[in-house]
Structures are given as C-alpha cells and as structure tokens.
Amino acid sequence: MKALLYRGARRVELATVEQPAITDPADAIVQISTTNICGSDLHMYEGRTDVADRTILGHENMGVVTEVGSGVMHRRVGDRVSVPFNIACGTCRNCEAGWTSYCLRTNPTEGMDGAAYGYASMGPYAGGQAEYLRVPYADFNLLALPPGTGHEADFAMLSDVFPTGYHATELAQVGPGDRVAVFGAGPVGLMAAHSAYLRGASRVYVVDKEPDRLRLAAEIDAVPIDLSQGDPVEQIMDATGGAGADKGVEAVGYQAHDATGQEHPALALDNLVRVVRSAGAIGVVGVYLPQEPGGVDEAARQGRIGWDYGTFFAKGLRMGSGQAPVKRYNRQLRDMIVAGRSRPGWIVSHELPLAAGPDAYERFDRREDGWTKVLLHPAA
Ligand code: NAD
Ligand code: ZN
Ligand code: ZN
C-alpha cells in the first residue's frame, strides 16, 4: 500500500510499504478515507523528536472497517468509523477513569503512559497517512459514524482537534457567560474557541498573528486579536474594560513566538497568566517539548521552561494540561455535527490525494497563507 514516511528532518516520502494485518484478536483494519496533517506532526517534521526513520505518520484518521479480529464483538466490516488519536485498552485504571490519553497498557516506552498512531515516543504504532491502518482494541477505540460520505470534513475533526479543543475548555472549566481568551488560532485553538461558544461563553478572544487564521476566528464570531499589532494582553484588557478574561486556553505550545518571529517557549503561557482574572482557570493543550531542530537531550525531553509561576500563584489560578482523552468527548461532538449544531470542517483549507502529502507538509510547516488544515484522501 501507499504511505507517507518520516525520512529525517523536513523529509516526508510517499512509499510503497506492506499492508497492516491483524496481530491481535481485538484488532481491526480500517481503510482510510481521510487522514489529516496536524500541528503536532510538525514537531517530528522539523526534526525536533527522536521519531524513527520510516515511521508511517498520521494520527488523525477515519475510514471504513475492512477486517476485524476474532475478538471484536461490536465493530463490523463496512462500518464507517472515526479513530481517536489515543490508543487505549479501555480497562486499565486510567482508561476506566476516562483518561484514555494516559492508558497504562498501550505504550511500552519506559516512563510514558498513553499511546498514539505514528508518533514519536507514543508507542510502536504505524500512522494512518496510508491506505490502511491497524487499530488495537477496536471495540473500545472506534467511534461509529453514520454510513455514507456525508460530513466527511466535519467528522475528520473528531479524531483529534475538535475533542482536543473541547478538552482545553473543559480543563479551563469554561461555563455560561465566561469571557474566554484563546492563544493560538491554529486548528486546535479555533476548535477551542468554537467549543467555548458551545459551552455558553459570552465572548471569545482569539490571539494569533496569521491573518488567514484570525479571519477563521472571526467567522465564528470570536474577536480576533492580532499580536503583531501590539501586546495581546493589553488589547484584551481594553476590549473587556480592564476586567480581563475569566478563563484561558493555551493552544500554541513551546513554539510560541513574538511579533518579530523569535521563539519564546513560555510566551503564550505567561500572557495567559497576565490576562486571566484572579481565581480563573487555564487549559493547556499546546505541547511542551522545547527542543531545537536536530537535538533531543534529556533537559529538553523534560520540557523545562521558565514561566511566571509567581503571578499564577498570587492570582490563585488553576491549570489543567496534557494530551486530550478524545473518547471522553467524541460521541457527543459527533452528535452535535449530525444534528447540525456544529460544523468544525469550517477550518479545512485543503483536501488532497496522499501523493500531495510531502508538498503539503512543507507548505503547512511554512504556515503558507491559507494552509490551515490539510486533509489527505488515500483513495483519491
Ligand atoms: P499550529 O502550529 O497550527 O497552531 C499554533 C498557532 O499558534 C499558530 O497559528 C501560530 O501562529 C500561533 N502562535 C505562535 N506564537 C503565538 C503567541 N505567542 N501567541 C498566540 N499565538 C501564537 O498547531 P495546532 O495544530 O493548532 O496545535 C496547537 C498545539 O496543540 C501544538 O503544540 C500541538 O502539538 C498541540 N496539540 C495538542 C494536543 C493534545 O492532546 N494536547 C492535540 C493536538 C495538538
Ligand atoms: Zn493531531
Ligand atoms: Zn488503558
């Protein structure tokens, strides 16, 4: 089958590889109809991780079941499914508590809980930027979708960015009437802004400096805050009559940069600590592994950054963080889409065949104007 392989920093290659087979009775094989490129893939693409050469990339997958293991009871050949990026067993202590992103059983890497497809340090699993994908614990992990091809781009958001954005608002405890500041207008930040409104926020402010992304924020009635036009915290303070935000979301990660393009790993976090009012809360879903391209050292792996914990403490803020447990939200969000109350596919900018993948990685990584979310269709 055809697949996109990681071949070193800034090298993604379309190659022919062996098709995956069932290796455990709980497995299923899914023929991929849509697989997305994610901001998280860029950490690997830029050579900032120790992902192995020839790894098949892709953790945002959906498609149709073509084969099931003898132990699979509820998923059938022909089912249209969304595949959460987390690979979870369903029965360990964390999975039972709803934390499928920290499954204790699926990642054999020492000191790492939680697994994903095609991702450095997240276990030995092939990704889905390919024609077929092996899904472990298929009964537990696969979410059924309505048959057919309707809402494909909307449902494609269910494997990661929509539940992740929603999780950020859950971590920040966004409730009715809240003013919410979202840092980062990438796919995750835009989904967090959309989720904040689903949860009843009165006003959402979205900070970035990419004009195309700020336009997408404005399309859902969020207030775009352009950080290249001045301190984003002051802009939000002005817009709220000095009150600031009640809740905040960090959807940038360690690659936060200032208006001049200089990287400052703690910049978005520090701005959130400034802009969220005392006794408020912040949800952090941006990834922190501050590594220079080409190097993975132990200090970097720990993600040590200097941030303003003193002000965070003085204001009595709360914070939640980490990988999103997709399964906790994806059924509800699917049903919002089916009912016509949510159209997360509004952020999709490109739908391309798999062969366009290497070029798409390059353009998406350069944040070329208009490249917000890329969907690849392996059967096209
Ligand atoms: P992205 O890179 O497309 O978006 C990040 C955005 O932040 C960009 O538009 C960038 O211009 C903007 N930005 C940079 N510096 C900024 C600053 N100082 N202030 C405000 N905005 C700034 O990535 P994405 O796909 O939207 O993902 C966002 C983050 O979430 C990444 O770190 C990604 O790895 C992470 N992520 C986490 C999870 C999870 O489960 N926790 C899941 C998916 C992605
Ligand atoms: Zn992703
Ligand atoms: Zn588990």
**What CATH code is carried by the domain that includes residue 103?**
3.90.180.10
Distance 254 CA to ligand 1 centre (A): 9
Pair (199, 152) in one structural domain: no
List the residue whose alpha carbon is closest to atom 35 of ligand 1. 286
Q: Give the number of domains in the chain.
A: 2
What crossing angle do the helices spanning 330-338 and 161-171 adopt, rounded to 10°?
Answer: 120
273-310 tens-digit pLDDT: 999 999 999 999 999 875 665 555 555 556 678 899 99
**Residue 252 CB–ligand 1 contact under 6 Å:** yes
Report the pLDDT value the prediction gives residue 302, as an integer from 0 to 100.
61
Q: Work out the percent of the chain whose per-residue pLDDT is above 90.
A: 89
CA gyration radius, the chain = 20
Residue 92 Cα to ligand 3 midpoint, Å, equals 4
Q: Which atom of ligand 1 is nearest to the CA of 183?
A: 20
ipTM score of the complex? 0.99
pLDDT at residue 153, rounded to an integer: 98
Q: State the Cα–Cα distance between residues 160 and 128, nearest whole angstrom.
A: 13
Any idea which ligand is nearest the CA of 102? Answer: 3
Rounded CA gap, 139 and 26, in Å? 7
pLDDT of residue 291: 62
The list of the chain residues with pLDDT below 50 reads none
According to the model, what pLDDT value does residue 109 have?
Answer: 85
What is the span of the domain harbouring residue 361?
A: 2-160+325-377
What does the alpha-carbon distance between residue 196 and residue 332 come to, in Å, rounded to a whole number? 15
pLDDT at 227: 97
Containing H/E element for 337? helix 330-338
* Dihedrals phi, psi of 75, to nearest 5 degrees: -100, 140
Does ligand 1 come within 6 angstroms of the Cβ of 160? yes
| Same domain as 181, residue 130 | no
Judge if 13 and 135 occupy the same domain: yes
What CATH number does residue 242 fall under?
A: 3.40.50.720
**H-assigned helices in 256-328:** 267-275, 298-302, 309-314
Among protein residues, the one whose CA lies closest to atom 26 of ligand 1: 186
How many A from CA of 136 to the centre of ligand 3? 11
**Residue 17: C-alpha distances to residues 20, 28, 63, 92 (Å):** 9, 19, 19, 33
In this prediction, residue 254 carries a pLDDT of 86
**Do 155 and 227 have their domain in common?**
no
